[in-house]
Structure 1
Amino acid sequence: MKKLLFNTNDSYAGLILRVSLGAVVFAHGAQKLLGWFGGYGFSGTMDFFTKTMHLPWLVALAVILLESVGAVALIAGLATRLLALAYTFLAVGILITHTQWGFFMNWFGNQGGEGIEYFLLWLGIAAALVSIGSGAFSVDRLLFSPKENSIHPEGAKRVIHQEVGS
């Protein structure tokens, strides 16, 4: 199970996808948790989610933490597949609530809310990360991937012996 969840390769695709998604999601999470970038902060967001959107407080808290702390972990490449799976479910929930405003984002402020185009990209990136893992320069790779796949003197010797012995 550990291998299924944490094993990854040294692909730059995983690195690019996780840093891109993590950076964009973190900005939203910072609005919700810290009040940065014009956000309402933790209390204001909890009030909005629980009183206006009628979400259970546990779901509201999970969204705030997933978009802030989870985004930092995603950028670092820690538990990438698990976080990406959680982001996949979150994106589906957001898509359901935003379909009423159409496809396009609210660039000109003439819609009641944002369309779904941004969240479709979010969903696609998250799904790709579930599939490929965190890639190069990740905590997952450092802690959980086999040494044969990394630049490590002992791992290199094993790979060389396997190739010569083949």
Structure 2
Amino acid sequence: MRSLVATTNDVTIAICRLILGIVFFVHGAQYTLGWFGGYGFRGTMHFFTTQLGIPAIFAALAILAQFLGGLGLIVGFLSRIAAFGIACDMLVAIFKVHFAFGFFMNWFGNQKGEGYEYHLLVLALCLLIIVKGAGALSIDRALSKETK
């Protein structure tokens, strides 16, 4: 457990973790609760399983990874696990959906879908958190100080 929550008091990592957590909590809240114009859990499950062909168990895991992973990153609790879940979700999104549309996002609406550049940025931030931990101002930091 100690190595899972071990982290430094790095503020830069904490800022990256917090921003990533907010982004994924908001997306997860769309998927789970229907907030921010989302479809809620049932609607998202329906879309993921029927339109994208994702098996129900993996669709549910993706939704939970974004919602609970985002929340975990915001408070800095089990941040490595949260970042790993989000990274897995992004890898599936790249290869299942976005790779076919190329690298670039669809800023001008001239592609049939979104590319994977955003997902690569998310993967880089997740890798930072998986390797370095949650950083300052996190529950992980408080727990790692207690276990020493």
TM-score w.r.t. the length of structure 2 is 0.91
Q: Which runs of 4+ in 1 moved over 6 A?
A: none
Partner of residue 52, structure 2: 53
Report how many residues are paired.
Answer: 147
Contact 2:68 2:82 in 1 (8 A): no
Does the alignment pair 1:132 with 2:132? yes
The amino acid of 1:16's aligned partner reads I
**Alpha-carbon distance in structure 1 between the residues aligned to 2:102 and 2:20:** 22
Partner of residue 16, structure 1: 15
- State the structure with more CA Rg: 1
**Alpha-carbon distance in structure 2 between the residues aligned to 1:135 and 1:34:** 29
The amino acid of 2:33's aligned partner reads L
Deviations 1:44-75, CA, capped at 9 Å, x for gaps: 10001112222221111111111112211111
The amino acid of 1:112's aligned partner reads K
Partner of residue 78, structure 2: 79
Q: Which runs of 5+ in 1 are unaligned?
A: 149-166
* Worse overlay, 66-75 or 127-136: 66-75
The amino acid of 2:61's aligned partner reads A
**Alpha-carbon distance in structure 1 between the residues aligned to 2:36 and 2:112:** 20
Partner of residue 113, structure 2: 113
The amino acid of 1:99's aligned partner reads F
The amino acid of 2:145's aligned partner reads S
Tell me by how many angstroms 1:146 deviates.
Answer: 4.8
**Alpha-carbon distance in structure 1 between the residues aligned to 2:108 and 2:40:** 25
Partner of residue 151, structure 1: none
CA RMSD after TM alignment? 1.5
Q: Which runs of 5+ in 2 are unaligned?
A: none
The amino acid of 1:47's aligned partner reads H
From the superposition, tell whether residues 147 and 46 of structure 1 become closer, same or farther in structure 2 (CA, over 3 Å): closer
